[in-house]
Structure 1
């Protein structure tokens, strides 16, 4: 019973393939861009830091730092970028500045910490492998040091998020899935016509369609990762070229991330060895995917910028 229904469905798709492709591409683009269009109702709820059952407020120190970075980056419409207190250990961002909702940049509590006052770190409970981190232990001290950034490193980390948003990177990301879908479908149809498969056996067409779909999926993964790497490098480069201080802050920022990951690798034991490389880079979650550029190469990129007179 299912066989005739599937063939009728395939015939219907074949008949209206252009319209279905257009709707599918538009839907994919909208779905990937949704939380950037409504960051306040989606992204912020996910990343908001909470304390005592209430959303944490960003300190005046970090608000002032954020506005200093906006000025250094050269942002004219400062009201399009709003900071908030985020959980985690490094800044996050979402939104499209020129849309009504604007953009949000989440700044973590450890950015409040200084060499004299580390309350943004030691007053937080961090549980790893079911055990609370002892901040006075050897590994706790190493983690505490890795989570404390100089003002220059903090500025770089915030600046790269602002530059990322300013460059419309979310829209570029969102365009990758529909572009790959359209490319796969159009090239698949063209090759099918070239090989004369439309007049061939249904079994051959079915095998061909499955093969093209698999190739398209792999192509999407590779294209998405390539775009991700390019955008990472572009954001780092633009933030590091603001000034020498920003470049030095960028080198420190990635050095501290690598140090943090090496410490987490030790604290997590066997699980940490699967997540983090000895260098501090992240291992790919899947054998052929690396969603973000390695931290070592990003640090080296900024180091090379710093060496340019």
Structure 2
């Protein structure tokens, strides 16, 4: 194989690897977004459970508070999601849009939750203190719901899928170029196959670490930026944020107790998510402390 054919083949492989990396991250938020929604939605009698008018009105009020344009409002599609956590996915792309998952505890009463809640497909023993704590923490006030929904909407606006896709594509392109430059310059492909494979593996690991590191750093930064932005919307959102994080910590501690050993692998004794190496989000306890301080400053301003 001549030098021209070798370089041409490597160029094609590099472009292909870059494109695959880019679209692998982006496709679940675009082409496969409807399939993802189908997988996580909550259903009633075989159909997606509808959101009641009250919660839809609340979402529109939140969009008013965030001063969203009509174009963005129309792109974000609320729906009923399975579980107890809000969910967002998608982008501000007009063709595919974004989805905003609203869990059952935002629309159901305490009695409705008590009747339908299960842990691992088994009825909950409501005489247990941790079960009562779980139920009480799952019911959020209007302010807490507004905060939580606004938080997800701001994350949609951050366009994380595009950022993560671009970063992965950039890392693949740069490392592929370096790898080929080194192996070509020192003629490793034919003379030292083992060293060539070791170099390839090292670059792959380095690329993965770089991508996860940048991705997690930005996500962590967006958590802080989002909380600060919502604080600027006024007292209702500060109180809502304080309640949301406090009750989420209580709920997580209750789940930890209800699930036993499995729960200990998911949540810490304080209610934060267990992490290993990666820190994708600001710990809930840190966010709670932030809103506690904001609430204290607000009270101090009122007194002065």
- Asked if these proteins are the same fold (TM beyond 0.5), I'd say yes
Quote the offset at 1:182 in angstroms.
2.2
Task: Give me the whole-angstrom Cα distance separating, in 2, the residues matched to 1:123 and 1:66.
Answer: 26
CA offsets, 1:174-229, max 9 Å, x none? 32322332232234345556777578633322322222222222223322222222
Cα separation, partners in 2 of 1:35 and 1:218, compared to 1, 3 Å? closer
Which consecutive unaligned segments of at least 5 residues does structure 1 have?
1-7
Task: Name the TM-score, length of structure 1 as normaliser.
Answer: 0.84
Quote the offset at 1:146 in angstroms.
1.1
Instruction: Give yes or no for the alignment of 1:112 onto 2:103.
Output: no
Instruction: Give yes or no for the alignment of 1:255 onto 2:246.
Output: yes
CA offsets, 1:248-268, max 9 Å, x none? 211211111111111111111
CA RMSD after TM alignment: 2.7
Residue 65 (structure 1) aligned to one of 58, 64, 69: 58
SS in 1 for 2:116: coil
Quote the offset at 1:136 in angstroms.
4.3
Which consecutive unaligned segments of at least 5 residues does structure 2 have?
none
| Equivalent residues of 2:131, 2:258 under 8 A apart | no
After superposing the two structures, state which structure 1 stretch, 29-38 or 247-256, moved more: 29-38
**Which residue is equivalent to 1:126?**
118
| Equivalent residues of 2:22, 2:166 under 8 A apart | yes
Residue 97 (structure 1) aligned to one of 92, 95, 118: 92
| Equivalent residues of 1:160, 1:235 under 8 A apart | yes
Task: Give me the whole-angstrom Cα distance separating, in 1, the residues matched to 2:96 and 2:140.
Answer: 30
Residue 74 (structure 1) aligned to one of 67, 75, 94: 67
**Which residue is equivalent to 2:286?**
297
Task: Give me the whole-angstrom Cα distance separating, in 2, the residues matched to 1:110 and 1:277.
Answer: 23
Instruction: Give yes or no for the alignment of 1:212 onto 2:207.
Output: no
| Equivalent residues of 2:33, 2:89 under 8 A apart | no
| Equivalent residues of 1:161, 1:235 under 8 A apart | no
Cα separation, partners in 2 of 1:200 and 1:296, compared to 1, 3 Å? farther
After superposition, residues 163-182 of structure 1 pair within 5 angstroms as 163-182=154-173
Instruction: Give yes or no for the alignment of 1:158 onto 2:153.
Output: no
Task: Give me the whole-angstrom Cα distance separating, in 2, the residues matched to 1:243 and 1:193.
Answer: 60
Task: Name the TM-score, length of structure 2 as normaliser.
Answer: 0.85
| Equivalent residues of 2:27, 2:33 under 8 A apart | no
Quote the offset at 1:171 in angstroms.
1.5
Task: Give me the whole-angstrom Cα distance separating, in 2, the residues matched to 1:255 and 1:76.
Answer: 32
